[in-house]
Amino acid sequence: MFGVSEIAIVLIVAILILGARKLPQLARSLGKSARILKSEANAMKNDAGPTAEPRTVPGEVTDRRTGH
């Protein structure tokens, strides 16, 4: 992963490019995006359990013998 020096360099470059005033707003939006992604991933896990029926798209043709 990243070490402390790499993270510091990225933060310095971000401050130079975006400015110090926009960084908190950027961090908030990234946090919101991460929370949304996590909740959607959890919802997909809960919906597609081992007992769940396979989903088909309307108009999709499936072969019951092979499962495709």
pLDDT in tens, 3-59: 899 989 988 898 888 888 888 888 899 899 999 999 998 888 887 655 556 666 777
Predicted local distance difference test score (pLDDT) of residue 27 = 86
Domain contains 36: yes
Domain contains 54: no
Domain contains 28: yes
Predicted local distance difference test score (pLDDT) of residue 49 = 58
Predicted local distance difference test score (pLDDT) of residue 6 = 92
Strands (E), 10-68: none
Domain contains 25: yes
Domain containing 31 equals 20-45
Q: Confirm if 62 and 68 have CB atoms less than 8 A apart.
A: yes
Domain contains 7: no
Number of domains the chain is built from? 1
**Distances, alpha carbon 50 to alpha carbons 28, 35, 46, 60, in Å:** 36, 25, 10, 22
